[in-house]
Structure 1
Amino acid sequence: MNNRPSLGFDDDIDETVTAEPAAVLDLSDFKPTPAKRPDKAAVAKAAEKTQFKSREPKAVAAQPAPVPSPAPVAARATRRRRTGRSAQLNLKVRPDTIEAFYAIADANGWVLGEAFEKAVELLHQASKK
């Protein structure tokens, strides 16, 4: 016996339920029926009526080659090193400020976090004067 309340099911966990062996299922008369597929024209008409937009790719006729996109202005070097910095700071700045910040970091060989720390240090020293 256990002291747990009943969960409302007919059988208890502690009781052993003996089931009778299952009878062998006779499938000799079973004949599967083919799946009924809807008419493609009717499906297309219903889709058009409800303004359904298909995700299927459309057949592309021979088109002129696409115009290549312009090359990026300047590919930036990867600035990753293990530094122990784990917090992230996201800022909205002007594009020219970003470029200047990257240029300073690249010129000194700093990762961006290191360049930010140097800038904060200089601002802190300037505020003490």
Structure 2
Amino acid sequence: MSAIAKDRPPLGFGDELDDFDPAAWTKPSAPIAKPVPEQTRHAAEAAGFRSREPAKIEAAHSPAPQQRRRRTGRNVQFNIKTRAETIEAFTRIADTNGWGLGETFERATELLERAQTTR
């Protein structure tokens, strides 16, 4: 192995490392002050950067969603894709009648089953 190591060409780092003095590196006497967040944001916007943070939503513009969770014994999940208008109508029916979404789905299924048996 020593024969191989002697045959290697130098990489060019030796001169810099020979002159390196670790004692020359000292900590700054005073800590560097962090910029104010407002200054940072302003400088970033001036440079064309956009924040990835979500925009803060005003509480007055969006009401809190209605709580629909209840202990009902329902423990199976059923996911479907539908249009937004259908979901809005479904939740409006549930809210108007004071039902949970699971109960509304069960009642809708019962009505559809009755409609099929009367045909």
| TM-score using structure 1 length | 0.47
Q: Relative contact order (C-alpha < 8 Å, sep 6+): which is higher?
A: 2
Relative to its length, the structure with more helix (as a share) is: 2
Aligned pair partner of 2:40 in 52, 55, 60: 60
1:111: how far off? 0.5
1:76: how far off? 2.6
Q: Which runs of 5+ in 1 are unaligned?
A: 1-33, 35-58
Matching of residue 125 in structure 1 with residue 105 in structure 2: no
CA distance 1:68–1:81, change in 2 (3 Å): closer
Alignment-mate amino acid for residue 86 of structure 1: N
Paired residues in the alignment total: 71
1:88 matched to which residue of 2?
A: 77
1:69: how far off? 5.1
1:60: how far off? 2.2
Segments of 4+ moved more than 4 angstroms: 66-70
Aligned pair partner of 1:116 in 102, 105, 118: 105
Q: Which runs of 5+ in 2 are unaligned?
A: 1-21, 23-38, 46-50
- Residues 43-97 of structure 1: per-residue CA shift (max 9 Å, x gap): xxxxxxxxxxxxxxxx925357x9765734x543010110000000001010000
Matching of residue 98 in structure 1 with residue 111 in structure 2: no
CA distance 1:87–1:98, change in 2 (3 Å): same
Mapped to 1, the partners of 2:115 and 2:64 lie a distance apart of 34
Rg: which structure is higher? 1
Alignment-mate amino acid for residue 106 of structure 2: E
1:107 matched to which residue of 2?
A: 96
Alignment-mate amino acid for residue 96 of structure 2: A
Mapped to 2, the partners of 1:61 and 1:104 lie a distance apart of 45
| TM-score using structure 2 length | 0.50
Backbone CA RMSD of aligned residues: 3.1
Alignment-mate amino acid for residue 42 of structure 2: A
